Structure 1
Amino acid sequence: MSISALEYAQKAEALCVLPDVYLRLKEIIEDEQSSLSAIADVLALDPALSATLLKIANSALFNFPREVDSISKAISILGTEEVHNLVNTYGATAAFSCVDSSVIDLDRFWEISVDCALICKYLAEKKRIKGGKGLFVSGLLHNIGELAILQSDVEKVKYCQQYDKNETPWQRQQDAFGFSYADCSVELLTLWQLPESLIAPIRDFHLAYGEERSPAASLLYVASRLALLNSHPGMYSKKHFVGVHILQDLDISMAELDEAVNFCNLEGLSILAALKLKKTE
């Protein structure tokens, strides 16, 4: 009997637990009566999260003219919505810190995910995409379903990694499971009660080529494919792989795609390091 995307997500939720500080912060941030100082107090209890927040606040993601040297300053400059996005990023990535790296190439997994996130952020800001503010998180977590499924179905995940230029990863996933990793990502992030604004683009982006979807979902479609191209140079034709008509709808040129890739190549390693997503030798 086949297992649904929701069932895989439920199994992973039981094994990959969100950090306590994430749950507390989520509760405070979502309370409209909470003060910035209350958020800062909880952040200060977790040195790893505090350090991550400061590193990302000082990265090219935000490009502030002066160094952000305290948690309270980071919160006041970034705003609670952006802090909430970063807390969601921290919680979801930390939950999968125990994944067995002998089964899949985790470095490549996170590099593609971070590239997708950075491409989303770059193009969302450049083209002023409606609903694009949280797309960094959507891009980073759009494929987290692979890590969820890995917890209980190693052989099928290995099979899905064996795609080549004649097929896409998503075709393999449909063949193996009857759904894509993104579908499992949606189920897991819903169980974790992440904001619907972050989940909706992940739910819809695979449909963007054939159906009219939100600009955020369409951009995630482009970014996910561009990130895959960046990790597999020459495997696919960029012009056709990312969807020319979607680029036209979003008013994105091929030159702007190149700009976005250059941005993620420049900044990817610093984000991977800040989030502790890359193995150290």
Structure 2
Amino acid sequence: MSIKKYVKFATKSFALPNVCVRLRELLDCPRSSAEDIGNLISIDPSLTAKVLRLANSSLFRFPSQIESVSKAINVIGGEALYNLVISETASTAFKCFDSELIDLKQHWHASVYSGMLAKHLAMSTNAKVIERFFVMGILQNLSELVVAKRSPELYQQYLDSDKSLLPYQRQKQLFGFTFAHCSGIILESWNLPIGLFYPITHVNDVARQSSDREIGVLALSNRIAVRQLDKENHSDIELFTSEIANTVSLDMEMVSNATDYAERETVKIAALIR
């Protein structure tokens, strides 16, 4: 099946909640205020509670309590708030594509772990809007659920394929595309910002890893996640390929710090969103 058919299946099966669309419109409108945005989020008490819990979590580590959405906007910024809303929406999307072939709890944990790695590495490189990297880490394997749901027999072949190859290599070999590439196109079709879908779409493109720092950071976090989550097959994976090293000026101590952070915080953050 072509990548276009999986994207079509995903977009027909799940649409972004209206609050995501309206929030994006308000953030892009120069006349909107923090009060306007706060009023929009506050319509949904459950979303409000989750956003405030996340704003007060270890994702931000602010010294004082954030007690309202408007304060969250003033303290963390509108884009960070948008990324929190998209993160919360992601858990709903994951459940929409639940499959018997995938342990959803384990998949969610791995996705949040990748997001925490990406966020910490991005922070170490002084990237802008670092929460965006957390969202990218979560969403990049969304299409794995889509593929498993739409083509269970083919996905089973993927599970049984040669695990000495890296996951993206196995995906490319069997499907003709990587899960990240498919996820990026799905996110683009949902009209998410280019700063979210572009790095995901091209994360396995070695040429772009060598020229685009954001893609390099995301690619590095993926390799770390593979090493940490599949030690049986990939404990010796090369982290700093020549392409990644060309754009990401980090060292193994920073990688160790990111790993420690992700392992310490993932369970707490995953529980807050779900």
Instruction: Give the TM-score normalised by the residue count of structure 1.
Output: 0.89
Query: Within 1, Cα distance between the matches of 2:161 and 2:67?
Result: 45
Q: CA deviation digits over 1:113-156, x for unaligned, max 9? A: 11111111111112214685622211111111112223311122
Counting only pairs closer than 5 Å after superposition, residues 1-281 of structure 1 correspond to structure 2 as 3-129=1-127, 134-163=132-161, 165-208=163-206, 212-238=210-236, 240-243=238-241, 246-247=244-245, 249-276=247-274
- Structure 2: unaligned runs, 5 residues or longer: none
Query: Within 2, Cα distance between the matches of 1:267 and 1:164?
Result: 32
The answer to whether the 8 A contact 1:170-1:180 is kept is: yes
Residue 235 of structure 1: SS of its match in structure 2?
helix
- Structure 1: unaligned runs, 5 residues or longer: 277-281
User: What is the count of residue pairs matched by the alignment?
Assistant: 274
Alpha-carbon shift at residue 21 of structure 1 (Å): 2.5
Alpha-carbon shift at residue 215 of structure 1 (Å): 0.6
Alpha-carbon shift at residue 184 of structure 1 (Å): 0.9
Most deviating of 32-41 and 233-242: 233-242
Q: Percent identity?
A: 32
Task: Give the 3 Å change call, closer, same or farther, for CA 96–240 of structure 1 in structure 2.
Answer: closer
Over aligned residue pairs, what C-alpha RMSD do you find? 2.2
Amino acid at match of 1:21: V
Task: Give the 3 Å change call, closer, same or farther, for CA 105–162 of structure 1 in structure 2.
Answer: farther
The answer to whether the 8 A contact 2:116-2:261 is kept is: yes
Q: CA deviation digits over 1:10-50, x for unaligned, max 9? A: 11111123223223323322322211111111111112211
Most deviating of 161-170 and 219-228: 161-170
Alpha-carbon shift at residue 97 of structure 1 (Å): 2.2
Most deviating of 108-117 and 205-214: 205-214
